A and B are shown apart, each in its own frame.
Chain A
Amino acid sequence: NPLPEGCSLLEIERITQSVLKSHMETSQHSTEELKRMAWTLYSPEETRSYQTKSAEVMWQQCAIHITNAIQYVVEFAKRISGFMDLCQNDQIILLKAGCMDVLLIRMCRAYNPINNTFLFDGKFATAHLFKALGCDDLVNAVFDLAKSMSRIQMTEEEMALFSAAVLLSPDRPWLTDVQKVQKLQEKVYMALQRCLQKEGASEEKLAKMVSKLPIMKSICNLHIDKLEFFRLVHPETAYTFPPLYREVFGS
C-alpha cells in the first residue's frame, strides 16, 4: 500500500509507538490485572442485589462508571500525536462523537468470552446483572459486540490503532478542519495496516474490525435513545448524573 503523501515509514512507526503508548498509559486496567481478575465473578446473591436495585440507582452507578472511563478516553486522545494540534472545537466534536466507540472497543479487554461476562465494579458480571436498567436490548447488544470482537483477537497495538482511527473519523458533523482530521486518520489507518502486515495477520482482520463500526454506531444511538427515555421518566435523577456524562451525551 502506498504511503500517504508527505508521510514516511519512520513517521508511521512513530505514530504506532505513540498511539500504543497512549493506549497503555490510559487503559483503566493492565492486561495482567485483567487476567488476574478474570475469574472473580459476582455470586448469585450479589447479582440479585444488583437486579433488585431501582432503575435510578443502577443508571446512576453506570453513568458514574462510564464517566470515569470517558476521562481515560480523553487522556488517550490528548496523547495521540496530532490530536492536540486540532482546534479545540474539533477535539470536542471528535470526543463527543467517538468516545463511546472507543469505550466499546476498550470493553473487549474487560470481557471474558468463556463465560460471557464483563468487568463491572470490580468483578465480572453476566448480562442479567444489569436487569434493573430496563435496557435488556442495549445490554445484550453490548455483550454480543464484545463476544464478536473478542473473536477477532486484536492485539493491544491493533486495539490502540483501531481506537485512534475511530476517534479521528473525519465524517463527524460540524468539524471545522475535515482535511486535517482526515490526514491524521489516514496515517493511523496506515499504521494499523502496517501493524497487521508485520504480525502476518490476514487481510480479513482489518475488514472484520471495520465491520463492527455500524454495530458500534447502532449501540451508541441506542444508548442515547435509552438515556432520553430515562430523562423523560426520571428527570431529577438524570439531572444528578455526572456533569461530564451529561455534557458528552447531552443533545
Chain B
Amino acid sequence: KEKHKILHQLLQNSTSPVDL
C-alpha cells in the first residue's frame, strides 16, 4: 500500500475534473 500511496489516495478521493 505504501508503495502506491498516491494512487490509493487518488482512487479514494472524490475529485472532480475541476479539482485536477
Q: Which residues of A contact B (CB under 8 A)?
A: 25-26, 68, 71-72, 74-75, 78, 84, 88, 91-92, 95-96, 243-244, 247-248, 250
Contacts and interface: CB of A to CB of B under 8 A. Distances in A.
A74 B10 contact: yes
A72 B17 CA distance: 7
Contact of A92 (B11, B15, B17): B11
A74 B10 CA distance: 7
B11 A96 contact: no
A74 B15 CA distance: 10
Nearest to A248: B7
A71 B20 CA distance: 7
Contact of A243 (B6, B11, B15, B20): B6
Interface of B: 3-8, 10-11, 15, 17, 20
Contacts of A75: 10, 15, 17, 20
Interface of B is mostly: helix
B20 A92 contact: no
Contacts of B17: 25-26, 72, 75
Contact of A244 (B3, B6, B15): B6
A214 to B, nearest CB: 26
B20 A91 contact: no
10 contacts: A25-B17, A26-B20, A74-B7, A74-B11, A84-B11, A92-B7, A92-B8, A244-B7, A247-B4, A247-B6
A136 to B, nearest CB: 31
